[in-house]
Amino acid sequence: MYVAVKGGEKAIDNAHAWLAEERRGDTDVDELSIAQIREQLSLAVNRVMAEGSLYDPDLAALAIKQARGDLIEAIFLIRAYRTTLPRFGYSNPVDTGTMRCDRRISATFKDAPGGQVLGPTFDYTHRLLDFKLAADGDAPHAPVAAPRQEDTPHITEFLKGEDIIQDEVFSDDTPGDLTREPMAFPSNRPLRLQSLTRGDEGFVLGMAYSTQRGYARNHAFVGELRIGKVSVEMDIPELGFAIDIGEVELTECETVNQFQGSKTEPPQFTRGYGLVFGQSERKSIAMALVDRALRWEELGEDNLGAPAQDEEFVLSHADNIQATGFLEHIKLPHYVDFLSELELVRKLRREAEARMAPKEAAE
Amino acid sequence: MSAYNFAYLDEQTKRMIRRAILKGLAVPGYQVPFASREMPMPYGWGTGGVQVSAATLTPEDRLKVIDQGADDTTNAVSIRKFFENTAGVETTEDTSQATIIQTRHRIPEAKLTEDQILVYQVPIPEPLRFLEPRETETRKMHSLEEYGLMHVKLYEDISQHGAISTSYAYPVRVSGRYVMDPSPIPKFDNPKLEMDAIQLFGAGREQRIYAVPPHTKVVSLDFEDYPFEATKADHCCDLCGAEDSYLDEVIMDDAGNRMFVCSDTDYCRSRREAGHIGPMGAEDAA
């Protein structure tokens, strides 16, 4: 006698228990601490903060631990937590011109005020597995220089003097918030940038790469890439002035792009912009390239039909939490839909066979 | 879970969702954009339905959650637990006892009443999406009432297959105006869309809410010479003998023997309790 599948509740509880056990792994091996993840897997922590849209290294480290290292799952945990947090207000825009840079490079000028500062980069390492790390390593020490006291000016500011780079339109308007207003198309640049900065690193990278390979190529130079800490200030109405409420680490990338000129604009350089939480170079450069590709309309360029120029396509598919949810939901039960399809295909086959049968008999 | 507000969402968010629901009820079948929140379950798991339920629930409500018509499918269990934990509301499997029913892919067989709300989980709210991928275009088509493309699609089905080859998420026209996706319910359920209860549809990932008020005219799209037909497996339920319910086909052994059982588990249970017995139900001691 068939008994319909029961016990979904027990199955879920048991699955969760097994998951927790698998997460911990072999108990003879020491458990990871949140501090270890935060300090030693900091680039993973940065990615989770950036795509989770929440700057909190400890929470991001906790999410990575809970997610067994699955970063999209960790980002999801952070997003779901973030959505429950009350909003006290909005900070003032951060001033990246006052960033205390750990790293600051320009690919367009050999040297500039503020200098080229490599900082902690993989760029010139040889990608050889370091087997010494497999043994207990010593704590490495890097030489220390006196930190620069003055602000580091933006490279693009030097081009602005000549009027050879397009100036950004200044606006005091409060930008929209894509977490509070549903996305509508056509959108605008602040919303595009919000979407890209929390967008999936792999997706934004792929989109940017496609522009480099000729799908709406925009000839990007990294005008400047800077990584460092900036102060976050907030106006407190009771005080009547802004106070410093903390600092965040950011990666900012400004690209300088060739622009032939159009019917309305003389030849000039243009810009793409990337700004991401934490040390997230790949993401911020990719973001800047995609931002630039999406600006074709305001610059009077041709729509080449390239994916990276298509705002609705890019923004609708950049969010990995939306994407992974919808992709993975197809493993949920679909018996009802499948059965109705099954009935239909059976019916169509019966009808087709009935149509074909007399013909064969006649032959 | 006391750290969270009643039914998880904060009151501001619930107010925003309620405004979208009211707008949806005022313009039946129109997809109202809303600022969907990240929920603690993934997109695709019913985040739209969960947000609509959360905004609709009151502490006095009695909630039923079904997936594929059944109360005990894993995701139905998970969502029911979520509201037990975050709202502390009473839950039930009995369709007639529920004040709010959240569903995925089915409309219950039992007739719903004016005191009930049916909340659907919707994956793709746009009925025109697979004909036109762009939201900018489809919104224009809705505003101009330009549904020719849909009729061409149905016509092409008939010319190629001799029948309309849409068997679930079958498009309907609501109140003579908007073409609406009824969510992936089998077309067997389409005639039930005209009902006494309020029907709310939530699509979390796509940030849309829409609604069908009670007693609203809902017509499944068709042609005069190819009228809409609500189909199901040509069989009765092997457990309760029902001829009028949508059936799940279950493969029972390696030889491929099958049986058919009601997809609506509560309907099947109540019929068996009332003494109805299907061809294979006689030995059922439980």
- SS3 readout for A42-106: HHHHHHHHHHHCCCCHHHHHHHHHHCCCCHHHHHHHHHHHHCCCCCCCCCCCCCHHHCEEEEEEC
pLDDT digits (tens, 9 = 90+) for B21-30: 999 999 999 9
Average pLDDT over residues B120-136: 95
Q: Pull the structure tokens for residue A223.
A: 């005008």
Residue in the structure block whose two tokens are 């089915």: B106
**Averaged pLDDT in 10-residue chunks for chain A of 363 residues:** 61 93 96 97 98 98 98 97 88 95 92 90 91 83 89 88 82 90 93 98 97 90 96 92 96 90 78 97 98 92 93 97 95 89 90 80 55
Catalytic-labelled residue, pool B48, B204, B240, B281? B240
Q: Could you tell me if A84 lies within 8 Å of chain B, comparing CB atoms?
A: yes
The overall average pLDDT reported for chain B is 94
Predicted complex ipTM: 0.81
Residue in A86, A322, A343 nearest the CB of B167: A343
What's this model's pTM, rounded to 2 decimal places? 0.88
> B168 and A79: CB-CB below 8 Å?
no
Q: Please tell me which residue of chain B has the smallest CA distance to A86.
A: B10
The predicted pLDDT at position A167 comes to 84
Q: Could you tell me if A316 lies within 8 Å of chain B, comparing CB atoms?
A: yes
d(CA B240, CA B265): 10
Catalytic-labelled residue, pool B237, B241, B278, B281? B237
d(CA A296, CA B190): 45
Q: Pull the structure tokens for residue B280.
A: 């294979």
d(CA B197, CA B216): 10
Average pLDDT over residues B263-267: 95
Residue B285 has pLDDT above 50, yes or no: no
Among B38, B51, B190, pick the best mutation site for testing chain A contact (most A Cβ within 10 A).
Answer: B38
Average pLDDT over residues B104-124: 97
Active site residue B46: no
User: Which is more confident, B191 or A259?
Assistant: B191
**Could you state, in order of their start, the residue ranges of all structural domains in chain A?**
8-82, 96-119+145-324, 335-362
> A321 and B42: CB-CB below 8 Å?
yes
Q: Could you tell me if A162 lies within 8 Å of chain B, comparing CB atoms?
A: no
Residues of A in contact with B249 (CB under 8 A): 339, 342
Residue B256 has pLDDT above 80, yes or no: yes
Neighbour tally for B103: CB within 10 Å: 24
pLDDT digits (tens, 9 = 90+) for B29-75: 999 999 999 999 999 999 999 999 999 999 999 999 999 999 998 89
Residues of A in contact with B81 (CB under 8 A): 9
